[in-house]
Amino acid sequence: MFQGMNFSPASLPPSVGKLREEVRAFLYEETDWQPNSDFNAGASPAFSKRLAMRGWIGMTWPERYGGGGKSFLERYVVTEELLAAGAPVGCHWIADRQSGPLLLKFGTEAQRERFLPAIVRGDCFFSIGMSEPDTGSDLASIRTSAVRVDGGWRLNGSKIWTSGAHLNHYMVTLVRTAAPSENRHAGMSQFIVPIQDPNVTIRGIDNLAGESDFNQVFFDDVFIADELVVGQPGNGWAQVMSELAYERSGPERFLSAFRVLTEFVGCLQVSADRQQMVLAGRLITHLVTLRRMSISVASMLESGEMPDTEAALIKDLGNTYERMVPELIRLHLPDQSSASLLSALQECILHAPSFTLRGGTREILRGIIARGLGLR
């Protein structure tokens, strides 16, 4: 039976205006990094540390773990300002966005006390281990596995498209802890893997820009102590699905190309033809629509809902938008294009193929959307 989606109108409260001004003032004073067109590519432990000192990591988490006790909408403001500026947020991003909330929901008290304050201080960074070679984003087909040993587990296998593994300290990894059965989603668990372990090997994956923000990670008999198991063994699938709404619905799903758009609009103020003006209006309209949808999901998360289908739709539409922006602007470059526009455009085009990998491929997302709508 067909079921609809819920994008109830939501807006940011007026009270966040001061916070937005504070973030912009902070970014204006920051001078030791260059803006980027892909938040995955910009990673600076020192920048993350300075953000932490302002209380902008773990903003929504309980104060007893060092968090700010703020709302999802306040965090949204900080997030979109950082992304719009092209700030180097890659180090702390995953820990702040989803690893921390995962531990708050499923972790033990000992895990929360160990990891959350360190994340909030900007001292502890996380990656995600989901996709695998030969299985891609079909998480039900993962082969990385762990067997029970005295005091914990022995982990073997490989993960791919792992952002920031060469910089981070831990990786929340989805592994198979029981033999496959008719229920493809059963028998999976999540481990916190110390990725600086000597039995963990990290190999960078070069993108078209010659950079290696994605990695393939290999596990060779890595010992995982029982205290590093997240939630209940065998509950990994449900836990992963619960955290993906955080990954798929935020402004990072459609702001990777924002710098290209702003540089393009800036050039049009000097000289523009009708087609260029129409294109700018079209791209801005799409951006505003995606932002309103994203804020609606942030409001649902604030209310304790888990809008998985809505988040998947935002990610799918955002991917289309992020690929469309640089390609259409490339075809309609102003005669007087600035050096900053050309530089941003080049960087965005070279990074654009990776945009579809983050948070699941489009084929996977559309399957989730179809199920959420009752169509399969």
Which helix (H) or strand (E) element contains residue 321? helix 308-331
Task: Using the predicted structure, report yes or no on whether residue 332 has a pLDDT greater than 90.
Answer: yes
Under CATH, what is the fold of the domain 239-372?
Butyryl-CoA Dehydrogenase, subunit A; domain 3 (1.20.140)
* CA 371 – CA 376 distance, rounded (Å): 5
Tens digits of residue pLDDT in 295-331: 998 888 888 887 888 888 888 888 889 889 999 999 9
Tens digits of residue pLDDT in 166-182: 999 999 999 999 988 88
Burial class (CB in 10 A: 0-12, 13-18, 19+), 315: buried
Of 370, 359, 322, 326, which is closest to residue 344 (Cα–Cα)?
A: 326
User: According to the model, what pLDDT value does residue 145 have?
Assistant: 95
User: According to the model, what pLDDT value does residue 2 have?
Assistant: 42
Which amino acid, 14?
P
User: According to the model, what pLDDT value does residue 118 have?
Assistant: 98
> Domain residue spans in the chain?
16-125, 128-234, 239-372
What is the rounded average pLDDT of the residues 85-112?
Answer: 94
Q: Does residue 227 carry a catalytic annotation? A: no
φ/ψ of residue 129, rounded to 5? -115, 95
Q: Tell me the CATH class for 128-234.
A: mainly beta
User: According to the model, what pLDDT value does residue 360 have?
Assistant: 64
Query: What global pTM score does this model have?
Result: 0.89
Tens digits of residue pLDDT in 9-58: 888 888 899 999 999 999 999 988 888 876 666 889 999 999 999 999 99
User: According to the model, what pLDDT value does residue 82 have?
Assistant: 95
Residue with tokens 């993108």: 207
Domains 16-125 and 128-234 equal at CATH topology level: no
User: According to the model, what pLDDT value does residue 39 have?
Assistant: 66
What's domain 16-125's architecture? Orthogonal Bundle (1.10)
Tens digits of residue pLDDT in 166-225: 999 999 999 999 988 888 888 999 999 999 999 999 999 988 878 888 899 999 999 999
What is the rounded average pLDDT of the residues 285-298?
Answer: 92
φ/ψ of residue 132, rounded to 5? -135, 155
User: According to the model, what pLDDT value does residue 122 have?
Assistant: 96
**Packing angle, helices 72-84 and 274-302, rounded to 10:** 150
User: According to the model, what pLDDT value does residue 1 have?
Assistant: 39
Tens digits of residue pLDDT in 225-253: 999 999 999 999 989 887 776 776 778 88
Cβ 4 vs Cβ 369: under 8 Å: no
User: Annotated catalytic residue: which of 132, 243, 247, 322?
Assistant: 247
